[in-house]
Structure 1
Amino acid sequence: MAQADAERPTPARGRAARRYRRRLRSRIILTFFLLGVGLMVLFAFATNWTRNRVENDLVEDVLNRNIDAAAHEYALNPEQPVAPVAQMRAWVFPADRFDTVRANRPEWARLEDGIHNFSDIDEFGQETNYLLAVRKTPEAWFFLAYDMTQVRQGEDKFRRAILGSVLLFSLLSLLLGWWSASRVMSPVSELAARLGQSGGSTAPDPLAPHFPDDEVGELAKALDDYAARLTEVVQRDREFNADVSHELRTPLAVIRGAVELLLSRPELDDKTRARLLRIQRAEQQCTDLISALLLLSRNERGHGATDVARVAEQLFDAHRGQLGSKPLRLRLDGAPGQVVVDAPESAVTVALGNLVGNAVKYTQQGEVVVRLLDNAVEVIDSGPGLSAEDAARLFERGYRGTHAEHSQGGGIGLSIVRRLCALYGWNVRVVPGETQGVIATLTFAPAQE
């Protein structure tokens, strides 16, 4: 079902600003944390890679020098046993024992000259790691094993130490980020707080003197300049509205007095009296509209105890004199005192009068009913209904519905209703009727206790 709504806005600028500051602070903290973690991970990786590379190069150099020395000593004196080296074991197999190596150590027999990494199980059932240097000549095969078990254990300890360092420095990065974010956001938060406190007066206090000459100070100066220009515009607008209201009220008061004086004459004929009453109603409508627009321009809520039923009867009386020969019935479904609104009568008259006026204008025959509900009022007509385009744009300023044709009006009536609803916390809703016409519902704000 197509519908058009104008509801009271629920601004949450303070909460939104606080959430934004928290998000900005969180982004600063997260940046420091990720930067610290990233640098520490890269440093740990580079350190571990460098350590392993240097250690392997040193071990391989020792193995190469020792196996070269063993081969040289064997060439000089084959009967001389190879001297043992700490953490190393050496084997020399003459040519007549090559088959023994192939039988007992086939994996060694297949190796080429160089250094190879091996894992094995010792006599205690534990895994051992060693580097095996191989040198094969036609006269003998030389094998030199370097025990890497302690080296691997040292590497594991080193990795755990690196991991602990990464976690520690990551925590430090988080703390540093939190501290830095607090320092960075402190002047911004102070600026926001002072800006929020300065909104309660027509001449806000300048912000720039409270901040140093830095980026935040420049922002404070820009806000001061903007506030000064905005205050000047608002002041001019208020003065203009006050002047216009005063200048319009004066001739309207003259019209009212003249009409009342003319109506007091007993010799008036019925036709002239009807025209004077119409002028009197038009003057009252202008007065109510000026009062409502003045409240909107000042953004001030007026108070009162307005009986909606009495306002509806006055509106019906004003429209009955303009119906002419149109076969249209105006009916009030409710009792006086059923709905009483805490608002000036002028505001309720303008809001309800626009809804009733539109219903009367676009309904050619049938009836227009004003039905009083619980803290709300419905205006029901039997007119041509509401199109989808009208439903979407009904409350736009200057928009005239598809059924307006050549009727008078600038398309600002419902826009004024929407602004009054936003000011007083009301809600207006316009939807197509069940079979024909339109149902406009004006819901008032609950009474304040």
Structure 2
Amino acid sequence: MRTRNGRTRRKARYRRRLRSRIILSFVIFGFGLTTLIATTAVYLRNRVEDQVISAALTKNNNVFAEGFYRNPDAIGVPFEKIQGRQFSTSKLDRVPEAWRDLTNGVHEITERDPLTRKERVYRLAVRKDPQYWFFLAYDIAEERESQERLNRALIGSVGIFTLLSALIGWWSAARVMSPVSELARRLRASGDSTEPEQLSAHFPEDEVGQLASALDDYAERLTEVVQRDREFNADVSHELRTPLAVIKGAVELLLSRPGIDEKTQARLLRIQRAEAQCTDLISALLLLSRNERGHGATDVQRVAEQLLDAHRTQLGGKPLVLRTEGGTGLVVDAPEAAVNVALGNLIGNAVKYTTQGEVVVRLLDNAVEVVDSGPGLSAEDAARLFERGYRGTHAEHSLGGGIGLSIVRRLCRLYGWEVRVVPGEEKGVVATLTFSAGGG
């Protein structure tokens, strides 16, 4: 359930991201377009204005110079915004200092009035002849003010159009994402039933309808796979339980006969333990395949002692001590088969890879530790130990397919337990199986 809720939250987050991306795209498009238009308008206005003013000043300055040559007694050409002045090259000291070094052409001059402390901005057309210098000044203060007004208006228009683009983007995103949101809602609702609802019937033949049809097809194929898997697990469980029941009955019958020698009795007991182990494993795998949590009141200490007794008979002369530590009273709300498989894999690995020393099963308040004195754990083993099919570096030619710990991990996910395998303080490995609050 936690995983499905996690996927639901991720889908909602991705849906919000898509909606945000649509709105952001409209905002960026609106801002970029209006900014481009405003920048282009300002650039063209300034360029045309400069060309017009420069051409007018140059033309009028030439007219002013030609008029002076025709009538040298003229003092100047005063206008409301244009002022013309000429200076003889013999009296260049009268030329304003800011004008003296200017070349022929049109220049923009900014001066501050010493009395009013106000800035004066004007364009100055310069014509320097061998005998006379001609200057024609054009006051552009009004043009500068109108340009600033235009800039403020364009900036305001950029903000308004960007806001308008955001509103259009929000509206468009709501319209675009509405079918997707409806599809996600129906998909979540159909996940609670064993027979998923047909989604494509609720959507038109557009992109969302095609997606709904593809999801219907995928759900149908997935349902078939799950159904076949459940049927297979049920069939296997049923078919295996029958011969195991026969083996169990035959062993019990043989053990009840008097006069059995010790060697035969030991072999029969070994067969009996193998049968019990297979039965527990089948029960645990059936629970995993159904994703169902079984219930029970399993005494962990009793299970641990039974597992250690079973392994003692299989040591074959290996100098290894198997013992338990800790108090009693740890009871887990789970079938004994599940606890047997989970704890049995941890103990079995410890016994398999420890050549000498001891394997200690330590019972804690809400957990079990399996501590061995084996060769330890490499960094690669610690990272990949619970991968299905992975066999540790110390496995060598030992039997096993590397799926025992992966089954333990799946059982822990099903029952809310935790399993951890780390290197020991000095040597060996410490495997910890922690049960959920309340003993499972």
Same fold, TM-score > 0.5, yes or no = yes
Is the partner of 1:396 in helix, strand or coil?
Answer: coil
Is the partner of 1:203 in helix, strand or coil?
Answer: coil
Aligned partner of 1:374 in structure 2 is 365
**1:105-124 alignment runs, 5 A limit:** 105-122=96-113, 123-124=115-116
Aligned partner of 1:314 in structure 2 is 306
The question of 1:90 aligning with 2:81 is answered no
Aligned partner of 1:26 in structure 2 is 20
Query: C-alpha displacement at 1:240, in angstroms?
Result: 0.6
Query: C-alpha displacement at 1:81, in angstroms?
Result: 6.4
Distance in 2, Cα, partners of 1:84 & 1:448? 104
Query: C-alpha displacement at 1:365, in angstroms?
Result: 3.3
Alignment CA distance shift 1:81-1:320 (3 Å):
closer
Aligned partner of 1:44 in structure 2 is 38
Aligned 8 A contact 1:432 1:439 in 2: yes
Aligned partner of 1:424 in structure 2 is 415
Query: C-alpha displacement at 1:241, in angstroms?
Result: 0.6
Alignment CA distance shift 1:281-1:145 (3 Å):
same
Aligned 8 A contact 2:358 2:373 in 1: yes
Aligned counterpart for 1:236 among listed residues 216, 228, 253 = 228
Alignment CA distance shift 1:346-1:116 (3 Å):
same
Deviates more, 1:143-152 or 1:106-115: 106-115
> How many residue pairs were aligned?
438
Alignment CA distance shift 1:383-1:144 (3 Å):
closer
Aligned 8 A contact 1:9 1:422 in 2: no
Distance in 2, Cα, partners of 1:104 & 1:161? 40
Query: C-alpha displacement at 1:448, in angstroms?
Result: 8.2
**1:194-205 alignment runs, 5 A limit:** 194-205=186-197
Query: C-alpha displacement at 1:191, in angstroms?
Result: 2.1
Distance in 1, Cα, partners of 2:189 & 2:173? 24
Aligned counterpart for 2:121 among listed residues 116, 120, 129 = 129
Distance in 2, Cα, partners of 1:315 & 1:136? 113
Aligned 8 A contact 1:418 1:428 in 2: yes
**1:324-339 alignment runs, 5 A limit:** 324-337=316-329, 339=330
Aligned 8 A contact 2:369 2:430 in 1: yes
Aligned partner letter, 1:14: T
**1:28-427 alignment runs, 5 A limit:** 28-79=22-73, 84-93=78-87, 95=88, 98-122=89-113, 123-137=115-129, 141-266=133-258, 268-337=260-329, 339-427=330-418
Is the partner of 1:119 in helix, strand or coil?
Answer: strand
Aligned 8 A contact 1:399 1:412 in 2: yes
Aligned 8 A contact 1:305 1:341 in 2: yes
For residues 63-103 of structure 1, give each alpha carbon's deviation from its aligned partner in whole angstroms, at most 9, with x where no partner exists.
3443344344444444566664332223345x5xx444533
Query: C-alpha displacement at 1:371, in angstroms?
Result: 0.8
Distance in 1, Cα, partners of 2:384 & 2:233? 28
Aligned partner of 1:5 in structure 2 is none
Aligned 8 A contact 2:332 2:439 in 1: no
Distance in 1, Cα, partners of 2:355 & 2:102? 107
Is the partner of 1:303 in helix, strand or coil?
Answer: coil
Alignment CA distance shift 1:140-1:226 (3 Å):
same
Is the partner of 1:322 in helix, strand or coil?
Answer: coil
Aligned 8 A contact 1:88 1:147 in 2: yes
Distance in 2, Cα, partners of 1:140 & 1:388? 94
Query: C-alpha displacement at 1:215, in angstroms?
Result: 1.6
Aligned partner letter, 2:40: A
Aligned partner of 1:4 in structure 2 is none
Aligned partner letter, 1:275: R
Query: C-alpha displacement at 1:147, in angstroms?
Result: 1.1
Aligned partner letter, 1:24: L
Distance in 2, Cα, partners of 1:134 & 1:362? 100
> Which one has more relative contact order, counting CA pairs under 8 Å at least 6 apart?
1
Alignment CA distance shift 1:287-1:84 (3 Å):
same
Query: C-alpha displacement at 1:29, in angstroms?
Result: 2.4
Query: C-alpha displacement at 1:234, in angstroms?
Result: 1.0
Deviates more, 1:284-293 or 1:154-163: 154-163
Deviates more, 1:432-441 or 1:370-379: 432-441
Query: C-alpha displacement at 1:245, in angstroms?
Result: 0.4
Distance in 1, Cα, partners of 2:360 & 2:280? 23
Alignment CA distance shift 1:48-1:279 (3 Å):
same
Query: C-alpha displacement at 1:11, in angstroms?
Result: 7.6
Distance in 2, Cα, partners of 1:373 & 1:421? 18
Alignment CA distance shift 1:336-1:136 (3 Å):
closer
Mark the runs of 5 or more structure 2 residues left unpaired by the alignment: none
Alignment RMSD (CA, Å): 2.7
Distance in 1, Cα, partners of 2:398 & 2:129? 115
Distance in 2, Cα, partners of 1:64 & 1:325? 115
Is the partner of 2:374 in helix, strand or coil?
Answer: coil
Alignment CA distance shift 1:67-1:390 (3 Å):
closer
Alignment CA distance shift 1:318-1:137 (3 Å):
closer
Aligned partner letter, 1:326: K
Aligned partner letter, 2:238: H
Distance in 1, Cα, partners of 2:294 & 2:210? 40
Is the partner of 1:177 in helix, strand or coil?
Answer: helix
Aligned partner of 2:9 in structure 1 is 15
Aligned 8 A contact 2:331 2:439 in 1: no
Aligned 8 A contact 1:306 1:345 in 2: yes
Distance in 1, Cα, partners of 2:318 & 2:347? 16
The two structures have a TM-score, normalised by structure 2, of: 0.90
Aligned 8 A contact 1:101 1:108 in 2: no
Distance in 2, Cα, partners of 1:364 & 1:60? 100
Distance in 1, Cα, partners of 2:102 & 2:237? 107
Deviates more, 1:288-297 or 1:315-324: 315-324
Is the partner of 2:334 in helix, strand or coil?
Answer: coil
Aligned partner letter, 1:117: E
